[in-house]
Structure 1
């Protein structure tokens, strides 16, 4: 059905598998050899599994599921297909199993221990070998601890900028998925991105994340590239069918005609698993993987692009700069690509050391004790509850209508000479605040802190950053809107939108940005952002990506069939891993039809309240149960 770039090249022996059986590969089928598999049930009723060295036969192999499309597991002597192997965990750290004919890796074999202690499991291809290209880390037969790939002496070793060198960023992998109803040239896409990453100033895209002898993170930036060690880690899966025939990709939602929850992003995460997308810091430390990577799914009528990045290397605006430069490469306009800031230097090495003003919210900053109290009260959300990420569509015209109403209301109540203003983003922040508090008593006096991100590039240009140059790193802070629950739920969108606008204006000046980063610098070695409010507050995080215009990125230059029409995404989503932040909301952007797309991560129960309100056409959450 499709081909894959990589094949299985790594095998090992060991005498006991605690969480999974070994699968022995040959050219035509999979053979499972064991003397005992506890709790396993065979689906081949007349043909038991057996160990090659003799011993007890196995007659039970429970709940098996193949991860290879159209390539079911089979018994060497024939019999019924065994097509289910769920929740399987490979004991080979960072070395996934692969189907010999290509396709999705099989990386999980779970819950079936070997009891044949004196006859180790083995792979018929012999001892372990490294992967070519996107190499896996080597590992010991006797230890589960992986080791990083060997250091490449020609690599340029660069320290992370001071504010980027945190586990909070390094343990955060951001994956974007873009869906295009056009067949794009995969080779042209990968070649142009590869050439961009080899340009002076842009090589940071190819950086490999490593730890030095003291355990500190650093970037190893290649100076030489080859087919086995490309600048950008790229994979490609080619389907010969329509996207409508794919069991997962066929389910991408279309815009709704009213505000609605249209999808759960976890439903599409198997596409990320199949493409071997990184999900955690170890996926960079123990593989020869670039900090910015690409995966392409090709169908005969559509294309899915997946980009993934370790947050220690780039933020949202830096990713946008990369996308813009990539398009210029595709269009043959390389001479228009700007030279980025020198990645050898840290422009913010002195940011926050000399502060000329007190932060506007200094009196509301949580002390260490208050922060610990807040953590204690929210420990279930922070450590145990698993958030669910759902996608919301606000159809074309809805936000415009709400903004026009807000502007009219603010004009009628304005007392000063300054003309009132709120943006679409302010209105959506206010709408998300109402939605995000729909599970709380609407008359509650409990305080709410809405921590919204903003890019600091504009305010820091001239003082810390050179003018007009892309900065391929992190440069963002939070501005905080503090209001009680009852004000957000009981008052209009205009009220909360105006408060958000005022907070941004007051907290985003140069002196306030310096004061903010002084707090970051003074915090723990992990350089945590300051929190404002009180120990009993409800805390929300909002991030607005609208200015990045991600939905309007035009890949028409890569279309297999030349076209004069823009080729823009009809759907996109972003996934944060390995752990999603609770009560995190993202304004992904505005598509070509004027629809706004939002995502949020919260508990299923809290999402169900929002979804029920929207289905009742309570689009402003004014008639919630118990209100």
Structure 2
């Protein structure tokens, strides 16, 4: 059997066709090579038929509709495969329900999924008037940001890895994958009391060092990322002088709203609108300085880079790199260790409310013995399919109903033994 790399020939366009192209930032090789499976565990029996009909109804409302009506008499046709951009699988047990949402990263980021879940829940409650207008169906809110000259240069423009510098970085990364071939993706559970204690300590340290009138601040997310960076570096035992690039993903929808690219009175962007801030520190600084120092540097990076001017400057560089070099943009040192994390907390996955379709009082765990309410998930599992290594990257899945944090991260397999030991010591500090 001969293999062919020839792309399929698209069918002829007919008058009833509605062609919706990818937006620029939705279509690159990184996003094309990644899909997510997000599974919600509900300790209640949910009506799967009502869930299906509500989602179908959502996709009929306004610009949420991306096809003509597709009922049982007219099944969807995906032209070349049976693989849609978004699919739902619902499994109902006698005492629980699993709802898995599978989507390609080319369709949306996690805040896009949040918008779908919000709209879905509104339809389930019979409150279709609360479904936000769909933005981006025939308009790309991000497109205009790269059509004018940025008002200021990007803060790390001089650290752009291109040419020989990027080649050296690529060789370092290939060596890492070759020398440490095995990698594992694991879920990390961090009890709320541990994170609260670490943040209280960090805030106290910063307050004692403060010599200005401005009150110091670090969020729980800043502290969580700083702590996890320290945990990973202790496990990997990198050279003290090696530069560590902490890449912290943020959602730019609030900036687009400020610019008027998304209506401030409502509207939801189901697309990719996530970019990164960068923090550069040596391994020595991260491991030897207090947690408060690392967390404050992460906070300053957000304050200085998460704004209209820097976003426009970043997008200009990223677009030029993609158009001319045909690869994603990287900033830093050629020998750096690249550490990436995306915090999904604002997607509020553990607050998804499907209580409107809970069947009677059927429950696997009595309400008196659980912290999650009826119709809200007790656990959210994230998995996926990828065509490339995602080593040294991961996500904060979110905060459970009891305030505990769940993380998902991919590392060298040999690193996890040390991480397990560090987590045990953390528990022993509080006598647990």
Q: Same fold (TM over 0.5)?
A: yes
Unaligned stretches of 5+ residues in structure 2:
368-372
> Are 2:46 and 2:375, in contact at CA under 8 Å, matched by a contact in 1?
no
> Are 2:125 and 2:356, in contact at CA under 8 Å, matched by a contact in 1?
yes
CA offset at residue 529 of structure 1? 4.0
| Match status 1:575 vs 2:371 | no
| Match status 1:545 vs 2:344 | yes
> Are 1:386 and 1:603, in contact at CA under 8 Å, matched by a contact in 2?
yes
Q: Whole-Å Cα distance in 2 between the matches of residues 311 and 452 of structure 1?
A: 18
> Are 1:173 and 1:308, in contact at CA under 8 Å, matched by a contact in 2?
yes
For residues 470-523 of structure 1, what are the alpha-carbon distances to aligned partners after superposition, in whole Å with 9 as ceiling and x for unaligned? 011111110001100011111221111100000011011100000010111111
1:167–1:530: structure 2 CA closer, same or farther, 3 Å change rule? closer
Q: Which moved more, 1:315-324 or 1:335-344?
A: 335-344
| Match status 1:191 vs 2:53 | yes
CA offset at residue 576 of structure 1? 3.3
1:535–1:356: structure 2 CA closer, same or farther, 3 Å change rule? same
> Are 2:136 and 2:271, in contact at CA under 8 Å, matched by a contact in 1?
no
Q: Whole-Å Cα distance in 2 between the matches of residues 347 and 185 of structure 1?
A: 37
Of 312, 315, 319, 2:109 maps to 315
1:443–1:290: structure 2 CA closer, same or farther, 3 Å change rule? closer
1:230–1:432: structure 2 CA closer, same or farther, 3 Å change rule? farther
Q: Whole-Å Cα distance in 2 between the matches of residues 523 and 388 of structure 1?
A: 31
Give me the CA root mean square deviation: 2.6
For residues 419-458 of structure 1, what are the alpha-carbon distances to aligned partners after superposition, in whole Å with 9 as ceiling and x for unaligned? 0111110010001101221234477111100111100111
| Match status 1:558 vs 2:357 | yes
Structure 1 segment 403-414 matched on structure 2, within 5 A: 403-414=199-210
1:304–1:505: structure 2 CA closer, same or farther, 3 Å change rule? same
Q: Whole-Å Cα distance in 2 between the matches of residues 171 and 513 of structure 1?
A: 25
* Aligned twin of 1:517: 315
Q: Whole-Å Cα distance in 2 between the matches of residues 308 and 193 of structure 1?
A: 14
| Match status 1:339 vs 2:133 | yes
> Are 1:449 and 1:482, in contact at CA under 8 Å, matched by a contact in 2?
yes
> What secondary structure is seen at the aligned counterpart in 1 of 2:39?
strand
* Aligned twin of 2:279: 481
Q: Whole-Å Cα distance in 2 between the matches of residues 488 and 367 of structure 1?
A: 27
Q: Whole-Å Cα distance in 1 between the matches of residues 199 and 82 of structure 2?
A: 48
* Aligned twin of 2:219: 423
Of 249, 253, 256, 1:457 maps to 253
CA offset at residue 171 of structure 1? 2.0
Unaligned stretches of 5+ residues in structure 1:
1-140, 204-220, 234-283, 621-627
CA offset at residue 148 of structure 1? 8.3
1:228–1:165: structure 2 CA closer, same or farther, 3 Å change rule? farther
CA offset at residue 461 of structure 1? 1.6
> What secondary structure is seen at the aligned counterpart in 1 of 2:19?
strand
Normalised by the length of structure 1, the TM-score is 0.62
> What secondary structure is seen at the aligned counterpart in 1 of 2:150?
coil
For residues 138-161 of structure 1, what are the alpha-carbon distances to aligned partners after superposition, in whole Å with 9 as ceiling and x for unaligned? xxx987889689678444111211
CA offset at residue 288 of structure 1? 4.0
CA offset at residue 530 of structure 1? 2.4
* Aligned twin of 2:232: 436
Structure 1 segment 279-294 matched on structure 2, within 5 A: 286-294=80-88
Q: Whole-Å Cα distance in 2 between the matches of residues 363 and 572 of structure 1?
A: 40
Q: Whole-Å Cα distance in 2 between the matches of residues 573 and 293 of structure 1?
A: 16
Q: Which has the larger radius of gyration?
A: 1
1:143–1:482: structure 2 CA closer, same or farther, 3 Å change rule? closer
Q: Whole-Å Cα distance in 2 between the matches of residues 183 and 152 of structure 1?
A: 45
For residues 6-25 of structure 1, what are the alpha-carbon distances to aligned partners after superposition, in whole Å with 9 as ceiling and x for unaligned? xxxxxxxxxxxxxxxxxxxx
> What secondary structure is seen at the aligned counterpart in 2 of 1:192?
helix
> Are 1:148 and 1:286, in contact at CA under 8 Å, matched by a contact in 2?
no
Q: Whole-Å Cα distance in 2 between the matches of residues 285 and 425 of structure 1?
A: 43
CA offset at residue 177 of structure 1? 1.1
| Match status 1:389 vs 2:191 | no
Normalised by the length of structure 2, the TM-score is 0.88
> Are 2:398 and 2:406, in contact at CA under 8 Å, matched by a contact in 1?
yes
CA offset at residue 386 of structure 1? 4.7
1:445–1:558: structure 2 CA closer, same or farther, 3 Å change rule? same
Q: Whole-Å Cα distance in 2 between the matches of residues 605 and 202 of structure 1?
A: 46
- The structure whose residues are more often strand, as a share, is 2
* Aligned twin of 1:466: 263
> Are 1:443 and 1:490, in contact at CA under 8 Å, matched by a contact in 2?
no
* Aligned twin of 2:167: 372
| Match status 1:591 vs 2:400 | yes
| Match status 1:303 vs 2:111 | no
For residues 354-403 of structure 1, what are the alpha-carbon distances to aligned partners after superposition, in whole Å with 9 as ceiling and x for unaligned? 21101111222223221110101111445793531101111121111111
